[in-house]
Amino acid sequence: MAYLMNIKAFLCFKYLRLRLGVGVIAALLLFGSEARSVTNEPEFNRRATATAQLLAGITPNPPEPAFNKFLELDVWKEHQKWMSSQWAQVRGRLNVMENWRDHEIKIAGAQKKTMVYPFSGPDFINAYALFPDHSRYVFFSLERPGSLPDMESVTPGQFVKLLTDVRSAFRDIFERNYFITSYMSKQLTTPWVRGAVPVMATMMALMNRRIVRIEPLDLFPELTKAYDTLDGKRPRMLLRGVRIDFANPATAGAQQLYYFSLDATDKALEYYPDFLNWVGQHKPSTALLKSASYLLHDEQFAKTRAMVLESSDILVQDDTGIPYRYLNQTPWQVKLYGKYQKPIRPMGYAYQKDLDTAFKDKTATADLPFPFGYHWRGSQSGLILANKERSSN
């Protein structure tokens, strides 16, 4: 009997080692049923989580012995100091945003909903601060998904460059609360920071979330195969996707973030005719549009605009999102916060006189206590909260 129990324990060890890591396994095997409460904590990918924490300037917890060589380096200590200082300021801003959210945004059944964020870049911070309870997040933008760096292969000299690139990638979102698209083309294509995944994973670490898994996602493998042929007709930019499952260490269960890189103009979407159907399939969804370069004012993005309007019942955006004329009508109800400012150069063409007039009605406009969008200095931001009226049928 003891022999059989040892075999079962060995097999269990083999399986759990792949899923949980050595520390948790040891506790399970040593303490048996008394240690089963450990499994109430969500399973997570220890190496990916530790990598994200390292990039975030956080000492990996639980410890990752392979990373100890970095923790004594002066460059790490300086990076940790910079990230800690910057994050303290951002955390203060997010606290204000979260308090505002709790009073102003009421979402029934959020735990079962999908949040859609077109033209997101790697902006996990704002999406999660505004909508922390959704089960699924769907982002799409131009920036490639990329991957986390393999820290075991990074030399101390390369580590210096890696941390420099991380700080460069975070400066704008920390200071302005948005990314600058033209800068991201360089910031997210360095030898060490490749794509949106390293930035989003680092943000998850900063917000005390653990990474369960990161895996590439191909929605349309037959199209991918066809477009990979050298002589076939193909889009200028191929669709690339990734799924990140992440978890709050204090609660059970995991949430999912789907990130896609593609050209979302109507013409380019002809190569992926079911993409927007896939994004909008989980109805009603919540939508976020922020610092979106007024793309949805352009008829080149009419399909994405229509998808958001049709599939969502709650929309949070600044003036760069869907033009006000689409929301100032049935079935939408709109509430305005903050101030309206004319679009920054060279986007003056997107000025909305009707929205300007609506914001000037002070009886219908509430304060906005945090920066949101391009007008981030000096309490000049504006925000639009739109709710779709529920059908009586």
227-270 pLDDT tens trace: 988 777 899 999 999 999 999 998 888 999 999 999 999 999 99
CA distances from 186 to 160, 170, 177 (A): 18, 13, 19
How far apart are the C-alpha atoms of 155 and 180, rounded to whole Å? 30
How would residue 42 be classed by pLDDT, with cut points 50, 70 and 90? low
Is there a contact between 175 and 87 (Cβ–Cβ < 8 Å)?
A: no
Instruction: Provide the pLDDT confidence category of residue 346 given band limits of 50, 70 and 90.
Output: confident
- The mean per-residue pLDDT over the stretch 27-48 comes to 53
Instruction: Give residue 177's pLDDT band: very low, low, confident or very high (50, 70, 90).
Output: confident
Question: For residue 41, what pLDDT is reported?
Answer: 59
Strand order through the sheet with 285-289: 210-217, 240-247, 255-261, 136-141, 114-118, 285-289, 312-317, 382-388, 332-338, 365-366
Per-residue DSSP letter, 236: S
Residue 314 or residue 345, greater confidence:
314
Cis peptide leading into residue 191 (ω within 30°) = no
- Of residues 331 and 32, more confidence is placed in 331
Residue 207 clears pLDDT 50, i.e. is over it: yes
Strands (E), 97-158: 114-118, 136-141
pLDDT at res. 40: 56
- Is residue 26 over pLDDT 70? no
How many CB atoms within 10 Å of residue 244?
A: 25
Secondary structure class of 266 (helix, strand, coil):
helix
Cβ neighbours around 310 below 10 Å, total: 13
pLDDT at 162 over 50: yes
pTM of the model: 0.87
Helix and strand numbers (H, E) in the chain are 15, 10
Backbone angles phi, psi at 114, to 5 degrees: -105, 140
Mean pLDDT computed over 8-12: 40
- pLDDT-derived band of residue 178, with 50, 70 and 90 as boundaries? confident
Q: Which amino acid is at 251?
A: T
- Average pLDDT score over residue span 298-302: 97
Band of residue 363 on the pLDDT scale cut at 50, 70, 90: confident
